[in-house]
Structure 1
Amino acid sequence: MILIKGAGDLATGIAYRLKKSGFDIVMTEIDKPTTVRRTVAFSQAVFDNEIVIEGIKGVKVNNINEIYKEINQGNIPIIIDEKAEIIKELRPDVVVDAIIAKKNLGTNIKDAPIVIGVGPGFEAKVDCHLVVETKRGHYLGKVIEEGSAIPNTGVPGNIGGYTKERIIRASSNGKIKPVVSIGDFVKKGDVVAYVDGVEVLAQIDGIVRGMLQEGIEVFKGMKSGDIDPRCEKDHCFTISDKGRSIGGGVLEAIMYMKNNN
């Protein structure tokens, strides 16, 4: 059994690859996830109770009995458990920290026989057994046996020739109210959302690939959406190349640990 901390789009890419490889998966989330790519994130089950992503169903659960019930039905249970306290009761074989917080929020190398850290903020053989690289580029998905992932630069990866311009950011503090849907085409300067009445504008032309759930509390400058200049609508509803690559890295890390213990 594998417990994945976090259920955002990258964690979902990991969960998908591990589930397809035959592992039982449990995911933890906070009570109000701030996932932007909601259409391809099991975290959306927190709001909608369930979601199907590329044929795999994620279901919101409330306790360990419901966890086992959903696993037995072939689904992925998602439980609201910010500090992943369920680890003590569940005693998983593997813990994967895929919160992507760019720092360690409490994962310990003793949490399970195999502990994998995803992205910056973890040191292999200190916080966890292995680390998986999350930065786009040559080393994406690489399993790190010594040291840490590349530090967060604060600059999003290049997609279609754009980096920071493709990110939709909150215009002020308050609650967000989107006026476009994921999959919609927008032009530079279009209003895509409001934050307590203040307009949020698109910075480039493209398809809205991600947008926060309506009513989420945001702060000025917070990442609230994502515009994809490649304008491939299918990309809005399928796991990204980045998610699949990181998922492959986590699978490799688990098998490496399993085969070398």
Structure 2
Amino acid sequence: MFGDFPVLVRGGGDIGTGVVMRLHRAGFPVIVCELDPPLTVRRQVAVSTAVTEGVTEVEDLEAVRVEVREATEVAAGGRIPVVVGESLPDLDVTVVVDARLAKRNIDTSIEDAPLVVGLGPGFTAGEDCHAVVETMRGHTLGRVYWEGTALPDTGQPGVVRGRGGERVLRAPARGLVHWSTEIGELVAEGEVLGHIVSPQGRFPITSPFTGLVRGQIAERALVAEGYKVGDVDPRTDLEDVHLVSDKALSVGGGVLEAVLVHLGRVRAGSAPEGPQG
């Protein structure tokens, strides 16, 4: 039904993958653009993993790294092509979604496509994009704004079972990441999960509480001090690490809503603006 309306998603991390999943299941051909190497933490549920692995599967999605010239054909065939690049690839698409979650607008323009959607803070609907989708947990998560901005960045992740900012693992120093645990492992409070290795020594990364390792940045990634390198989840269902999250699917649902509103209004001959909230 929507095969003539290709979508480009910039950023194939876990939230971007929720967007890809919603659009793909609704029948849209979806292309992803990602960095090499990607800086994704929840790699088990991210199509960006195809950049380093060549091919990856997330639930019913099969993502494959391709060249830009191959992307349209691969998407039409039902797979998720992942192309590499820091800038907007030269592709003829109907929709561009900035899912990089940089908390600021890096280079996205409202002129990038007939519909441009920004995720989270850093975008202003009607100025640098047509629509903004809320990414903060709470009653407004996944809502579509056709005017204005998403809620400002608090610098802290949402609270899950009483755990907020402490869920995030951050680099204690600048250096290369080396893990001694894996995504999906149950770990104890204070357990050493890995180290940052630098010329100044080895600095341990420890678990802040007993829980499940939900995400880890790629082995040997070079990171700055304080950079997010992983997260631990107080929820300990082992299947969770292989399933796209409720948050990602909610945001993806907001993007799908924005796309459908846009297409409906285009077909009706009206402007792309949609209902508020």
TM-score of the aligned structures, taking structure 2 as reference length: 0.91
3-state DSSP class of the match of 2:262? helix
Residue 166 in 1 paired to residue 167 in 2?
yes
- How many angstroms apart in 1 are the aligned matches of 2:177 and 2:44? 18
Aligned-pair distance for 1:69? 3.4
The alpha carbon displacement at 1:52 in A equals 0.6
Is the aligned partner of 1:80 residue 2:81? no
String of CA shifts for 1:166-198, please: whole Å, max 9, x gaps: 111111100001110000000111000110021
Once the two structures are superposed, residues 76-108 of structure 1 have per-residue CA deviations (whole angstroms, 9 ceiling, x without a partner) of: 000001112x2xx31200000110000011110
Task: Give 1:165 deviation, angstroms.
Answer: 1.0
Spell out the pairing of 1:39-118 with structure 2 (5 A cutoff): 39-64=44-69, 66-84=70-88, 86=89, 89-118=90-119
Q: Give distance in 1, aligned partners of 2:138 and 2:209.
A: 23
Work out which of the residue numbers 233, 236, 244 in structure 2 matches 1:231. 236
Aligned to 2:39: 34
Whether the 8 Å contact between 2:29 and 2:76 is mirrored in structure 1 is no
Work out the CA distance in 1 between the residues paired with 2:96 and 2:53.
25
Q: In the aligned structure 2, how far is the partner of 1:71 from the partner of 1:246?
A: 21
Partner of 2:273: none
C-alpha distance in 2 between matches for 1:69 and 1:4: 16
Q: Note the C-alpha offset of 1:230.
A: 1.1
Unaligned runs of 5+ in 1: none
Q: Which amino acid aligns with 1:16?
A: M
Deviation at 1:260, TM superposition (A): 1.5
2:181 — aligned with what? 180
Q: Deviations over 1:98-157 (max 9, x none)?
A: 100000111100111111111100000101111000000010000001100001000111
SS of alignment partner, residue 157 of structure 1: coil
Report deviation, 1:222. 1.0
Q: CA deviation at 1:72?
A: 3.5
Aligned pair partner of 2:215 in 207, 210, 213: 210
Identify the residue that residue 142 of structure 2 maps to in structure 1.
141
Q: Is the 8 Å Cα contact of residues 94 and 113 (structure 2) preserved in structure 1?
A: yes
Indicate the larger mover: 16-25 or 162-171: 162-171
Q: Tell me, in whole angstroms, the C-alpha distance in 1 between the residues paired with 2:87 and 2:161.
A: 37
Q: Report the TM-score, using the length of structure 1 for normalisation.
A: 0.97
Further displaced range: 160-169 or 7-16 = 160-169
Structural mapping, 1:3-22, within 5 Å: 3-22=8-27
Q: Give the Cα–Cα distance (whole angstroms) in 1 for the partners of residues 235 and 58 of structure 2.
A: 21
- How many residues end up aligned between the 2 structures? 257
Superposition pairs for residues 114-129 of structure 1, below 5 Å?
A: 114-129=115-130
Q: CA deviation at 1:10?
A: 0.1
* Deviation at residue 73 of structure 1 after TM alignment: 2.8
- 1:246 match: 251
